[in-house]
Structure 1
Amino acid sequence: MIDRNLPPVPRLGRHPSRWRLAGTPVVTVMLGSMLTILPVIAQSPAMPPFGLLILLAWRLLRPELWRAWVGLPLGLFDDMMSGQPIGSAMFLWTVMLIGIDAIEHRLVWRSYRQDWLIATMAIIFCLAGGVFFARITGGGPVKLLLVAPQMLWTILLFPFVVRQCARIDRWRVMA
């Protein structure tokens, strides 16, 4: 039942909560990293790293949202969820974010194709680096050729993930 004595709450001029603004991107990256615990059985790496994809999508969609150091805690969470050696995603994601910052400082403007190219380079760097870290920590002879389908699948999935992050971002900033 609506109380008629209360003044109506104005919809204009309201701001979303601070947790909604700052927490939504972090939670989505963490949920993307948690997708690796799904029981998917495969002979070779087939599932794209959704945590990395969502991190890239947020970073390229909203460059002012995060600093480069955010790769450390999110990478640690991804390492714990994916089973990679602890520190591999922390290092790779932080270096990737620093590289994206360096590229953005040189570009005057970016188009969608440039974002996809930046994401492609970052995905190849992170997946090849993950293979390198797995190999040097005793993960066995993993060949880069086995990871190529995962790289291709991840690169092709990037525009879809960006679109979903843009949809979530609209909800995030909505009052």
Structure 2
Amino acid sequence: MIDPHLQHVPRLGRHPSRFRLTGTPVIAVMLGSAITVLPVIAQAPVMPPFGLLLLLSWRLLRPELWRAWIGLPLGLFDDIMSGQPIGSAMFLWTVMLIGIDAIEHRMVWRSYRQDWLIASAGIIFCIAGGVFFARITGGGNIKLQLVAPQMLWTVLLFPFVVRQCARIDRWRVMA
């Protein structure tokens, strides 16, 4: 009799768990938003919004994964973690996802450069909108010129984050 622990279990025909398929992207975005609680001391806003980067990466990598309303709960979590006024990321992320949906319905195909351009527009929109919401709610006198390096750094970091999401996605769908 063969020991059942020593038998080879075939991986063909097996499917990953439902939680692994749906929970991995959500947890990744939440961990990206939670990076803001790390004790990083800076004179200017230079830390890229990793939650936003991961949300954009997952959305552009796997368009069928989420609907536009996913920006509401993930944006709320990001608002709580980052200290932004509650509702700012919820609004900005949802509007950005609706805009990406509108763009995708008009395009027949997309290339990597177009994804980077779409992500750049989304990053600039969300960071500038975050500055606007912070200013109107009494968050100080933040000038847009102060966050321009953060925008540039975030746009340049996008390809790296997409590659990491692709690696996570490969693990996510692997049985």
- Shorter-chain-normalised TM-score: which range? over 0.9
| Deviation >2 Å, runs of 4+ | 4-10
1:139 paired with 2:162, answer no
Residue pairs, 1:1-175, within 5 angstroms = 3-4=3-4, 8-175=8-175
For residue 8 of structure 1, report the CA deviation from its aligned partner: 4.5
Distance between the aligned counterparts of 1:134 and 1:21, measured in 2?
A: 35
Distance between the aligned counterparts of 2:106 and 2:18, measured in 1?
A: 31
For residue 9 of structure 1, report the CA deviation from its aligned partner: 2.7
**Percent identity for Structure 1 against Structure 2:** 85
For residue 148 of structure 1, report the CA deviation from its aligned partner: 0.1
* TM-score of the pair, normalised by structure 2: 0.97
Instruction: Specify whether residues 5 and 169 from structure 1 end up closer, same or farther in structure 2 by C-alpha distance, changes over 3 A only.
Output: closer
For residue 11 of structure 1, report the CA deviation from its aligned partner: 1.3
Distance between the aligned counterparts of 1:30 and 1:71, measured in 2?
A: 12
* TM-score of the pair, normalised by structure 1: 0.97
Distance between the aligned counterparts of 1:8 and 1:72, measured in 2?
A: 44
For residue 19 of structure 1, report the CA deviation from its aligned partner: 0.2
Q: Secondary structure, in 3 states, of the residue corresponding to 1:3? A: coil
The aligned length equals 174
Query: Structure 1 counterpart of 2:21, which letter?
Result: L
Distance between the aligned counterparts of 2:129 and 2:5, measured in 1?
A: 63
Stretches of structure 2 lacking an aligned partner (at least 5 in a row): none
